[in-house]
């Protein structure tokens, strides 16, 4: 099973999403949360810290990370476990430093969140964003 960790960077009621390049093998041309594979021996938060630095050039404050959900997809060797986190604090300005993976990054308000690569993730994310604002 492949293990993937993703993050919803949330600030001022908006979430940062990445648009996956149309050339990507898995989930091309869709909006998604930034993140990636957990390497052997890595914790979820360590992988999240590494991936967000590699993709967005930011250093997350892991103390601000709140676990959002876990989802499983696929079967057999192609099965994937996704773990998503909400992150409210980081250093640096998010920038697309992985243009081979994403062709755009953009901030969205809850009512603007487009369909995500993993459609079950969208409603969970929007509800968490709305709860955080309440």
- The label of the residue with tokens 């994403």 reads 102
Residue 45 CA: distances (Å) to CA of 7, 56, 64, 119: 10, 16, 11, 23
* 81, 35 contact by CB (below 8 A): no
- Tens-digit pLDDT profile for residues 56-107: 999 999 999 999 999 887 777 778 889 999 999 999 999 999 999 999 999 9
* 74, 84 contact by CB (below 8 A): no
CATH architecture for the domain at 2-111: Alpha-Beta Complex (3.90)
């Amino acid at each position: 099973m492949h293990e993937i960790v993703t993050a919803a960077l949330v600030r001022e009621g908006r979430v940062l999403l990445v648009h996956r390049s149309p050339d990507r093998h898995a989930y091309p041309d869709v909006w998604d949360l930034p993140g990636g594979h957990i390497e052997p021996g890595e914790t979820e938060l360590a992988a999240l810290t590494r991936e967000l630095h590699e993709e967005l050039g930011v250093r997350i404050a892991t103390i601000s990370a709140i676990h959002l959900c876990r989802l499983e997809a696929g079967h057999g060797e192609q099965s994937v476990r996704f773990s998503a986190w909400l992150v409210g604090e980081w250093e640096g300005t998010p920038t697309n430093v992985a243009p081979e993976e994403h062709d755009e990054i953009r901030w969205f308000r809850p009512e603007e969140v487009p369909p995500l690569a993993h459609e079950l993730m969208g409603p969970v994310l929007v509800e968490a964003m709305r709860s955080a604002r309440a």
